[in-house]
Structure 1
Amino acid sequence: MRGVCAALGLPRGTYYAWRHRLLRERPAEPALSRGRLVPGYSLTGQGQKVPDGQIMEWIVEILEDENAAYGYEKLTWRLRRRFDLTINKKKVYRLCREMDLLWPQRQRKTVYPRRLPRNWVITRPNQLWQTDLKYGYIAGEDRFFYLQGIIDVCDRSIIAYHLGLTCKAADAARTLAQAVAIRKAEWQEPPVIRTDNGPQFIAAQFEQQCHMLSLDHERIPVHSPNYNAYIESWHAQLERECLAREEFITADAYRVVAQWIDDYNTMRIHRRLDYRSPMEMRARVAAGQAKWIPLRV
């Protein structure tokens, strides 16, 4: 290198400084991780080595003798107990894959894709419904009960509800069918039902009910209760005016809550409804004495 630098008239210090800077700025090549080498055998409880070829024969023998469609996890347990083999399920999975003995993976299909909430301008009832669950406590029996209500965003009325010690997808679907039976005769087109992402509302049974009833189902984003503000506000009113004032001893909680819901629909006034109850406002609009005020949701 001394002769090359002399021929070019380049100081050797300049060359080595350039070479050092070049090596320092060059990105390092990632090291190849080869992982642990496959030993090609497993040990028995007595420490004897059993080659992988013998283990493959044992796997086939188990499947033929027991006439069972075992997966790799069950084959692992049979190899351990039948042949006293020290082996883990990862190796059994690899051997089954080499012999093409693995069952094909299930293909999960989303039959009902999730629909996010849209912006609405509500001008009449039965355009947008909201539903959610509320818990109540029965002190005398030390257990909770469930309330699922369906509210119409326009007229604020509770169309249908479910009360019980449980609320499963079947209960939520049945409550929705009751609401449709009550309102179907008066709507121009099917409403949209908006829910959160609770297990009752993401279940296939609830989605199938929405499909059968020709309802579009919107599910709000996670941790965004403001998209379901009207049913959440109703829950707050229920808590203040009913649940917080009563200490339920027995299942008479159902009767008290049901009576409060009936009073809410027929008597409780709303500022948005010209200080009238939901039923009173519906009657006035039907008689041509009032109009619904457009509402942005």
Structure 2
Amino acid sequence: MLKVVKLGRSTYYYNLSVEGKEKAAPKGGKPKGYSINIDSIKICDDQIKEFILESINGDAINYGYRKITHHLRRYYNLIINHKKVYRLCKELKILKEQRVIKSKMKRVIAINKIITGSNQLWEMDIKYGYIEGEDKFFYILNLIDIFDRSIIDYHMGLHCESKDAAALLRKCLIRRNLFEEGANKPVIRTDNGPQFVSYKFSACCEELGIEHERILVKTPNKNAHVESFHRILEDECLKINEFQGYAEAYRVVNEFMEFYNNRRIHSSLRFMSPNEFYNLYFGENLTNIEIRV
């Protein structure tokens, strides 16, 4: 019969066993309205609320309900748990706002690659300069194409934040005509600086459809091309100039960037400048020139 009606035997016999039985009373009950202290004296909830208000007007001004619980136990000798304190604080409307826990951005570790053309892998990093006359530092955020060694663009200023890194990335895509949807975007490689691990920069890469990979800690060799450029920048520009003001530093660095991209020859680029090499071999995959990173 059970097979005909497609009913399991266990279901049938379970229903028989519970049929006619009264429903069990719900577990739990109303709050008692009091707690006790270490001397077993009852303290009503209204009095505990007064203790809580006294606490947050004193030493516990910035405490959450868990710390208030320990405060009540230590200074008022109450035997009370954090759940009740939470309920009382909620009734008093003094609960602190919960912090928003952001989901962690996926971290992609830099892996070994073989680069055979421009716009396949870009590296980004920050170099610091010093202004002697004003006794302060400035930042130069550079983005280099590791194949043609071009500094596609850079950001220079007295601060360097994640929004500056995101803006620089967008400018470089526009310069290389890669901003449009559907274009083959390069991989961007950085270290683990605060500008690059930020949600703003990660969200920018996700929006642009760019893969962002970060090198492991203490492995600057994985970012070798931009680090090499920074050594050139230090030796041929920053070290030999004592800047008296930010305007002078900006002018000298800008002139050096133009010299580096358009006139400074590289032996690895067949003794051409970066822009000359890029314009000559743009769009070609040179199998006889392979860069392993």
Aligned to 2:83: 97
Aligned to 1:116: 109
User: What is the CA-CA distance between 1:57 and the residue it aligns to?
Assistant: 5.0
User: What is the CA-CA distance between 1:160 and the residue it aligns to?
Assistant: 1.1
User: What is the CA-CA distance between 1:296 and the residue it aligns to?
Assistant: 1.1
Aligned to 2:227: 232
Aligned to 1:9: none
Task: Determine the C-alpha separation between the residues in 2 that align with 1:191 and 1:296.
Answer: 16
Q: Deviations over 1:64-83 (max 9, x none)?
A: 999xx972267479969xxx
Task: Determine the C-alpha separation between the residues in 2 that align with 1:253 and 1:50.
Answer: 74
Aligned to 1:241: 236
Q: Deviations over 1:150-207 (max 9, x none)?
A: 0001110001100000001111111111111111349951111111111111111111
8 Å Cα contact 1:56-1:95 kept in structure 2: no
Task: Determine the C-alpha separation between the residues in 1 that align with 2:44 and 2:194.
Answer: 44
What amino acid maps onto 1:129 in structure 2? W
Aligned to 1:267: 263
- Identity rate of aligned residues, in percent? 41
Aligned to 2:177: 184
Residues 226 and 110 from structure 1, CA distance in 2 versus in 1: closer, same or farther, beyond 3 angstroms? farther
The structure with more radius of gyration: 1
8 Å Cα contact 2:178-2:184 kept in structure 1: no
Aligned residue pair count = 242
Residues 120 and 75 from structure 1, CA distance in 2 versus in 1: closer, same or farther, beyond 3 angstroms? same
Q: Residue 208 of structure 1 is aligned with which of 186, 189, 203?
A: 203
Aligned to 1:197: 192
Residues 55 and 226 from structure 1, CA distance in 2 versus in 1: closer, same or farther, beyond 3 angstroms? farther
- Alignment of 1:285 with 2:290, yes or no, is no
Residues 50 and 154 from structure 1, CA distance in 2 versus in 1: closer, same or farther, beyond 3 angstroms? farther
Task: Determine the C-alpha separation between the residues in 2 that align with 1:166 and 1:231.
Answer: 20
Task: Determine the C-alpha separation between the residues in 2 that align with 1:135 and 1:238.
Answer: 10
With 110-119 and 224-233 compared, the bigger mean Cα shift is at 110-119
SS in 1 for 2:165: helix
Task: Determine the C-alpha separation between the residues in 1 that align with 2:162 and 2:69.
Answer: 38
> How much is the aligned-residue C-alpha RMSD, in angstroms?
3.7
User: What is the CA-CA distance between 1:284 and the residue it aligns to?
Assistant: 2.1
After TM superposition, the structure 1 = structure 2 runs for residues 1-297 of structure 1, keeping only pairs within 5 Å, are 41=37, 54=43, 58-61=47-50, 71-72=64-65, 75=68, 86=75, 95-97=81-83, 101=87, 108-185=101-178, 189-251=184-246, 252-286=248-282, 293-297=289-293
> What 5-or-longer segments of structure 2 have no aligned partner?
1-35, 57-61, 90-94
Task: Determine the C-alpha separation between the residues in 1 that align with 2:252 and 2:211.
Answer: 33
Q: Deviations over 1:103-122 (max 9, x none)?
A: 89767353421000011110
Aligned to 1:34: none
8 Å Cα contact 1:133-1:146 kept in structure 2: yes
SS in 2 for 1:209: helix
Task: Determine the C-alpha separation between the residues in 1 that align with 2:119 and 2:215.
Answer: 19
| TM-score, length of structure 2 as denominator length | 0.71
What amino acid maps onto 2:215 in structure 1? I
SS in 1 for 2:269: coil
What amino acid maps onto 2:245 in structure 1? T
8 Å Cα contact 1:122-1:296 kept in structure 2: yes
Task: Determine the C-alpha separation between the residues in 2 that align with 1:285 and 1:134.
Answer: 29
SS in 1 for 2:271: coil
> What 5-or-longer segments of structure 1 have no aligned partner?
1-39, 43-48
Task: Determine the C-alpha separation between the residues in 2 that align with 1:76 and 1:248.
Answer: 58
